[in-house]
Each structure stands twice: as C-alpha cells, then as structure tokens.
Amino acid sequence: MSDLLSSLNPSQQEAVLHFEGPALVVAGAGSGKTRTVVHRIAYLLRERRVYPAEILAVTFTNKAAGEMKERLEKMVGRPARDLWVSTFHAAAVRILRTYGEYVGLRPGFVIYDEDDQNTLLKEVLKELELEAKPGPFRAMIDRIKNRGAGLAEYMREAPDFIGGVPKDAAAEVYRKYQSGLRMQGALDFNDLLLLTIELFEQHPEVLHKVQQRARFIHVDEYQDTNPVQYKLTRLLAGERPNLMVVGDPDQSIYGFRSADINNILDFTKDYPGARVIRLEENYRSSSSILRVANAVIEKNALRLEKVLRPTRPGGEPVRLYRAPNAREEAAFVAREIVKLGNFQQIAVLYRTNAQSRLLEEHLRRANVPVRLVGAVGFFERREIKDLLAYGRVAVNPADSINLRRIVNTPPRGIGATTVSRLVEHAQKTGTTVFEAFRVAEQVISRPQQVQAFVRLLDELIEAAFESGPTAFFQRVLEQTGFREALKQEPDGEDRLQNVEELLRAAQDWEEEEGGSLSDFLDSVALTAKAEEPQGDAPAEAVTLMTLHNAKGLEFPTVFLVGLEENLLPHRNSLHRLEDLEEERRLFYVGITRAQERLYLSYAEERETYGKREYTRPSRFLEDIPQDLLKEVGAFGDSEVRVLPQARPEPKPRTQLAEFKGGEKVRHPKFGSGTVVAAMGGEVTVMFPGVGLKRLAVKFAGLERLE
DNA sequence: ACGGCTTGCCTTTTT
DNA sequence: GGCAAGCCGT
C-alpha cells in the first residue's frame, strides 16, 4: 500500500484513501489530479477489494480515457481491463446498444454528426417552405437538448424569432427534426444522453443493472458537466452515492455547451455530507508562470477563492511581445521556435481555429514541423465522410440522409431529378427512401442505374454483417470505382492518401478494440477532432491548437498568441459578465499549460475575413502586474539592431500617470494627437488624419508632448 | 447530368 | 481571404 501513497502529498493521500460516500476534489491546474484518481482506483482495487467491474470513471475525452486506462494497467495490471473508463457519450452508446430497444431504438441506430444534422435540417426547412439556414436551428436544438429542458420550456423563454423565423415555426422545425431522426433510426449527439436518462427513468431494472457496474463512480472535469450529464450522474450514483467528482471551477470553459459551473460549486449541497478535498499545490509550472496565472484568475468576481501554490522555483520571466501585425506575430513565434529547438516540447495556443493559418504558414516556411490539432477533422473530409456514409447505410438502410450522400458518389448516372422523384414516392407511401429505390421501376421510366445501385447496396449490407470495417471499406472501394473517380478530382492524390489513412485507421482499430462495422462507426462518431489519426504528422513537431483543446495538457514551452480585445476576450463574450469571466478562465487555462517558458503576444493589426482591423491589447493583460512580465523585441531577448526589419524598441514607457483631456501625446504608430478622454487604464485620443482611438495606457506606449 | 463559375457567408470555443 | 453551396451553361 505504501507505494500507492508515498509519492503523494497529504491532500492527495486523503483523496486516495477516501472510500464510500460522496467526495469533491477541487484540483487546481497541474495539481496531480489524474495521478490522484488513478491511485485512488488502484487503492480501491488493492486495499478495499472492490472489483474492477464495479468501477466507472468518466472522462472528458476518449483520449483521456485511454490514457487513464493505460496508467491503471501499468499500475494494477490485467484487472484494469475490466474497469469502465469512458466519456459520458461513449458510456451512453454502450448502454443504448444493449438496452436501446426498451425505449424504441432500432439496434442498427446511427449517430448523426453536425453535418448530418444540418442536412436533415435543410430538408425540414424546405419541407416547411422556410427560407432559412440550418445553423441557428441546430444551435437551438443543441441548447434545448443540452439543458434537458424540453421544447415547451425552451419556447417559454425563447426570443420571438429564431433564425429569422417566428418561434412557433421554429418549434415546428424542432418537432419535424425529431421525427426525421426517429424515422431514419438516427440519434444526434445529445440524444445519446437524453435517451439514456429516459431509459433509466422508465426501466428502473435497467438502471439497477448498470448501477451494479458502477458502484464507484469518478467524474473528471466536473466543472464542465451540463445539466443532462449532471442528471445522468445523479441517476447512476443512486441513493448511496460513492461518487468522487474532480474538477476546477477556474477551468470551466464550456459554458457555450451549457456546461454549468454551479454543478461543481453546489456539489456539497447536492450531495450532503460530501467530503471536500483541495489540491492546491502545483507541480507543473515555474513560480513565475504561476504568479501570472494567479494574478489573472483572481480578477474573476464569480469565483471561490483559491490560490495555486508553486512547488517549483522561479524560472524564466514570462515574456510579452507586441507585434505590429499578425504576420509579424507569427514570424516572431516561428523565429523563437527555431531558436529553441525541441519542437515536440512546444505548443502554440490561440482562441480561434482561424488563427492557425498564419502560424502554420510561417512555421512551415521556417522548416518547423507542425502538428495541427483539431482544425479540419480527419473524419470530416469529404472523401472520408463519403466512405463512412456507405458504412452507415449498410448498417442502417433507413438512413436516407447518408443514402442520398452516396447515391451518386462516385457519379453513376443517378441525378437530382431521379432522386427527388424517388424521395417523393417514399414520402407518399410512407416508406423509407431505400424502399422506394427498390421499387424504382414503378416510379421512374429508366430504372436500370437505380436497380444496379440497389444490388450494390444489398451486397454491402451483407458484407457489413460478415466483415469488419477494413474489409468492408475495401469492398466499397473495389466495387464503386471510388479510387478512380477520386483521382480525377483536384487534389485527388491527397484525397486518395486520406482514403488509405482511413483503411489504416480501421485496421488499427480492429487490432486494438475490435468489433463490427457498426462499432467502428460509433467509435468514429464519438471521437473528437482533436483525437484523430495524425497520419503524416512527424513525431518531432510543434503543437498548434485552440485553448479549448489544450485543456488537460502541458508543455515545457507555450506561446499564447492573439491576446487582443475581440479575440480573447472574444467579441461575442464582451457583454455578459459570466461570458467575460469564462474568457478569462480560458486565458488562465492557457497560462497554466506552460511548465518552464511562457510567451504572450498580441498584434496591433490583424486581418479578419481579409479585412484589416486595428486592435487593442486584451484587457486581461492589464491583470498582470508589470514586474511579472518582460517585454521582448521582435528578435526576442537580445535586441537586434542591424537588420532593417527590426523595429526600434518601443519608446520608454510613460509611467502610468494619468492623462488629462486636452493633453498632446505621441503614439508610435498614429503619430501625435490630442487626448479626448481618460478613464481607468484607457485613454481616447484624437489623431489627426487617423481618427479617434481608444488605447490602453499601459501598452499604447504614449509619450506626453509639451 | 455535370462541370465550372460566382456568390455569400463566415469565425468563437466541441463531447 | 477561403470555402461551400447554388447558378448557369453545355
């Protein structure tokens, strides 16, 4: 037993030794959270004689689940394989694949992704003769389902118009969307959880069975659970909850997905008698980095006090670089990275995916290998989606969304007119589109192509039963001329590469997990973009990703770029305090990813949609005491003066003395102007020929003129 | 039926 | 500035 505890601090030990009853582990960034949970599970197995098949651990991503399982296997060996470690959604799929029929699910149900949702919504909108885009309706549907509130409740508070359509009509869109899903034997992502709850509520005996499999429950990243996940947890935990939740309210960054930070803040009310354990010692970051992190997060008003204590020495100062524009910012990042080397130890983090382009460009130009996480999903590429659609239809021929996707891919002479005639027939006779295809000779005059297509599908349906995913996709490729057709297209070679990559991914999956085509499709649907196969990515590469994707990770060196108003905090989050504070948490998450070296940067000019915009530095930078930052020039710590591009060091800062209206000032970029107003750390200055500018005194580098 | 072109929209973040 | 959807011409 000592080896389970000896390497842990007293709070971590307390968590590991906790046995029955509810417990909340408030675990600050880098405080050894995963380690603690892993040790706790090992402790349950070894010392408390709990069976592995009685333990459930819910993680935020499949990747996190995989890593936890791996660590457990190292620690306790074989029994780890019987542990249930998964995300909420993967757990729900497993439950529904077993018991789904109790709530009217067909065994071959498919999971619709965002794309499929949009396609279905477009059909619904057309049917209702509404001229609108699917986007807002998908947002509405997700909102309704993430809260688990139901349509009626949502409608009570909904705005009068949704997506430019009166809300009564929007409600009809919702209903039609739902019945569309049901008719096709499809579920969207959120349905997975909702239907599991329905199953548990209507069939207590099923809940009871699952509870046997989950006598000890762990929920990681509890601060990011939404009301539906909260309810599911409650149901599973039951009357005598052996529930340990782990999280950090300061890292709650999924409010947009209806994650409710109150779930973690109210845990002790929801589960009376819960033990509260705080992990506040940080083992990850140098104390200079940690001081910056603490300074930032303590500015949040809606927050429980908590300070992360450093265990590591000071280290290098946190650097700040002000770039004249986004290009220069990217060039700076690339230059510094070349100087640093050790690419796999470096991450560049940003708020929006769009920011990755410039960075990637400059890094590649500097011959730095790049691993771009999560931007364009592998499984979202058109050719991959097409192939997967064959699988979905073979598993569930009622899926007409995917059927229509493949009907003429590759082109086989079945055009739009033909399809719409057959779809109409299906609607009239109340059958599936595939059934209409079967009786094509009754509907259209030249049914040969359609009939050939039906024969192909029948073969594939059979193949889906008999073979695993790899063999299935190979068969599709052989029988459809998919490869040949792809080669004709622009970037055909690249796309073909992707196809080969899919085959490889399927093969890997069969070796590791194993299972049917349907299982493989589930696993694809549940895999986040950020966890996808990286095929060509070299081992030694710099990681580029959004702040959201960086949660839970750590890197010796981190670049946090684009620290500008309207980007971080994002322009859509400026108006409500909750949103603004979530942005600040996002910044905090970014800072706390860094172990040894942290660079912050912003650009004074940036193109958005190809339009040039002047920016202001992020207000979050003002949260950091100046003595914790070291401002660096375009070439890093050592000033380079000879190169013509080298910008002169900014003028010695004007002390933070207040400016007054009427004073003349000079700005390095805008020239001289007159102060119009000054408030807080901001001044508004009129620059002749440029216009009114609002500037942060701290960063504007204003010089007072006499 | 299909390919090439224009247009319009986009960017918050994702299991 | 890019990308997908929709238009138009063949």
Q: pLDDT tens digit string along A227-278?
A: 999 999 999 999 989 999 999 999 999 998 899 999 999 999 999 999 999 9
Q: What are phi and psi of A316, to 5 degrees?
A: -70, 150
| Residue A268 labeled ligand binder | no
Query: Which segment of A59-68, A349-358, A417-426 scores lowest on mean pLDDT?
Result: A417-426
Output the distance from A374 CA to B12 C1' rounded to whole Å. Answer: 14
Share of chain A above pLDDT 70, in %: 89
Q: Which residues, including other chains, have CB under 8 Å from residue A520's CB and lie 6 or more apart? A: A391, A468, A469, A506, A509, A510
Q: Is the pLDDT of residue A687 over 70?
A: no
The per-residue pLDDT for A650 is 37
Which residues does nucleic strand C approach, with CB less than 7 A?
A 382, 607, 609-611
Residue type, A411: P
Output the distance from A605 CA to B11 C1' rounded to whole Å. Answer: 17
Q: Which nucleotide is nearest to A416 (CA to C1')?
A: B1
Q: Which CA-bearing residue is nearest the C1' of B3?
A: A489
Q: Which CA-bearing residue is nearest the C1' of C5?
A: A133
Per-residue pLDDT averaged across A203-210, rounded? 96
The rounded Cα A359 to chain-centroid distance in angstroms is 20
A688: pLDDT confidence band, cut at 50, 70 and 90? low
Collapsed DSSP state (helix, strand, coil) of residue A471: helix
CB A267 within 8 A of CB A245: yes
User: Which has the closest alpha carbon to A292: A653, A596, A698, A592?
Assistant: A592
CB A89 within 8 A of CB A133: no
Output the distance from A227 CA to C4 C1' rounded to whole Å. Answer: 35
Output the distance from A453 CA to B5 C1' rounded to whole Å. Answer: 31
> Which of A253-257, A443-447, A692-696 is the most confident on average?
A253-257
Output the distance from A297 CA to B1 C1' rounded to whole Å. Answer: 60
Q: Which CA-bearing residue is nearest the C1' of B11?
A: A354
Q: Which CA-bearing residue is nearest the C1' of C1?
A: A610
Q: Which CA-bearing residue is nearest the C1' of B1?
A: A415
Q: Which residues, including other chains, have CB under 8 Å from residue A239's CB and lie 6 or more apart? A: none
User: Which has the closest alpha carbon to A268: A24, A20, A19, A27?
Assistant: A24
CB A184 within 8 A of CB A398: yes
Q: Is the pLDDT of residue A336 over 90?
A: yes
Q: Which nucleotides of B are covered by protein (CB under 7 A)?
A: 1-3, 9-15
Compute CA distances A629 → A128, A271, A320, A337, whole Å.
Answer: 58, 43, 6, 19
Output the distance from A113 CA to B15 C1' rounded to whole Å. Answer: 11
Q: Which nucleotide is nearest to A609 (CA to C1')?
A: C1
CB A29 within 8 A of CB A293: yes
Average pLDDT, chain A: 86
CB A88 within 8 A of CB A95: no
- The domains located in chain A, with CATH, are 10-99+194-279 (3.40.50.300), 110-184 (1.10.10.160), 288-377+537-632 (3.40.50.300), 378-529 (1.10.486.10), 663-704 (no CATH)
CA A522, A525, A531, A532 torsion-angle sign: positive
Q: Is the pLDDT of residue A680 over 80?
A: no
Q: What are phi and psi of A303, to 5 degrees?
A: -160, 150
Q: Which CA-bearing residue is nearest the C1' of B10?
A: A609
Q: Which nucleotides of C are covered by protein (CB under 7 A)?
A: 1-2, 4
Strand partners, A310: A282
Q: Which nucleotide is nearest to A607 (CA to C1')?
A: C1
Strand partners, A683: A678, A695
DSSP H or E stretch at residue A588: helix A577-591
In DSSP notation, A591-617 reads HTTEEEEEEEEEESEEEETTEEEE--B
User: Which has the closest alpha carbon to A213: A375, A136, A99, A352?
Assistant: A99
The rounded Cα A84 to chain-centroid distance in angstroms is 23
A520: pLDDT confidence band, cut at 50, 70 and 90? very high
| Residue A487 labeled ligand binder | no
In DSSP notation, A76-139 reads H-GGGGGSEEEEHHHHHHHHHHHHGGGGT--TT-EEE-HHHHHHHHHHHHHHTT----SHHHHH
Output the distance from A609 CA to B7 C1' rounded to whole Å. Answer: 15
Q: Is the pLDDT of residue A200 over 60?
A: yes
For the stretch A16-26, pLDDT in tens is: 999 999 999 99
| pTM attached to this predicted model | 0.85
Assign 3-state DSSP to chain A and report helix, strand, coil percentages, each to 5: 50, 15, 30
Which residues does nucleic strand B approach, with CB less than 7 A?
A 60-62, 87-89, 114, 133, 135, 142, 189, 253, 256-257, 351-354, 374, 408, 411-418, 526, 528-531, 546, 548-549, 570-573, 608-609
For the stretch A364-423, pLDDT in tens is: 889 999 988 877 667 778 888 889 999 999 999 999 888 888 888 788 878 777 888 888
The per-residue pLDDT for A150 is 85
In DSSP notation, A261-279 reads THHHHTHHHHSTT-EEEEE
Q: Per the structure block, which two tokens stand in for A217? A: 């429950």
For the stretch A299-323, pLDDT in tens is: 998 888 888 999 998 889 999 999 9
Q: Which nucleotide is nearest to A526 (CA to C1')?
A: B15
Which position has the token pair 């708020």? A351
Q: Is the pLDDT of residue A213 over 60?
A: yes
The per-residue pLDDT for A148 is 85
Residue type, A670: F
| Residue A550 labeled ligand binder | no
Q: Which residues, including other chains, have CB under 8 Å from residue A147's CB and lie 6 or more apart? A: A154, A226, A227, A228, A258
For the stretch A604-654, pLDDT in tens is: 999 888 788 899 999 999 999 999 999 998 887 764 433 333 333 333 333
Q: At what angle do helices A382-395 and A492-512 cross, to 10 degrees?
A: 50
User: Which has the closest alpha carbon to A320: A338, A308, A332?
Assistant: A332
CB A68 within 8 A of CB A57: yes
| Residue A638 labeled ligand binder | no
Q: Is the pLDDT of residue A73 over 90?
A: yes
The secondary structure of residue A578, as a DSSP letter, is H
Q: Which nucleotide is nearest to A586 (CA to C1')?
A: B13
Q: Which residues, including other chains, have CB under 8 Å from residue A667's CB and lie 6 or more apart? A: A673, A685, A687, A693, A695, A700, A701, A702, A703
Compute CA distances A391 → A118, A461, A479, A532, whole Å.
Answer: 19, 9, 14, 19
Q: Is the pLDDT of residue A28 over 70?
A: yes
CB A117 within 8 A of CB A138: yes
Output the distance from A662 CA to C3 C1' rounded to whole Å. Answer: 48
How far apart, in whole angstroms, are the C-alpha atoms of residue A226 and residue A606? 35
For the stretch A454-494, pLDDT in tens is: 999 999 999 999 889 999 999 999 888 888 887 777 677 77
| Residue A7 labeled ligand binder | no
| Residue A33 labeled ligand binder | yes
Q: Is the pLDDT of residue A661 over 70?
A: no
The per-residue pLDDT for A425 is 87
Q: Which CA-bearing residue is nearest the C1' of B13?
A: A548
User: Which has the closest alpha carbon to A41: A271, A244, A211?
Assistant: A244
How far apart, in whole angstroms, are the C-alpha atoms of residue A605 and residue A612? 7
For the stretch A153-183, pLDDT in tens is: 888 888 888 877 888 888 888 999 999 899 8
| Residue A30 labeled ligand binder | yes
The per-residue pLDDT for A382 is 81
Q: Is the pLDDT of residue A685 over 70?
A: no
CA A293, A297, A298, A304 torsion-angle sign: negative
Q: Is the pLDDT of residue A657 over 70?
A: no
The per-residue pLDDT for A681 is 54
Residue type, A240: R
Output the distance from A610 CA to B9 C1' rounded to whole Å. Answer: 13
Strand A664-667 vs strand A703-704: parallel, antiparallel, or unpaired? antiparallel
Q: Per the structure block, which two tokens stand in for A195? A: 């239907």
Q: Is the pLDDT of residue A350 over 60?
A: yes
Q: Which nucleotide is nearest to A65 (CA to C1')?
A: B15
Q: Per the structure block, which two tokens stand in for A78? A: 């074989």
Q: Per the structure block, which two tokens stand in for A54? A: 């009685």
DSSP H or E stretch at residue A630: strand A629-632
The per-residue pLDDT for A123 is 84
| Residue A28 labeled ligand binder | yes
Which position has the token pair 């085509």? A517
Buried b (16+ CB within 10 A) or exposed e, A684-704: bbebeeeeebebbbbbbbbbe
In DSSP notation, A19-85 reads -SS-EEEEE-TTS-HHHHHHHHHHHHHHHS---GGGEEEEESSHHHHHHHHHHHHHHH-GGGGGSEE
Strand A682-687 vs strand A691-696: parallel, antiparallel, or unpaired? antiparallel
Q: Which nucleotide is nearest to A190 (CA to C1')?
A: B15
User: Which residues of A are designated catalytic?
Assistant: 33-34, 220-221, 251, 593
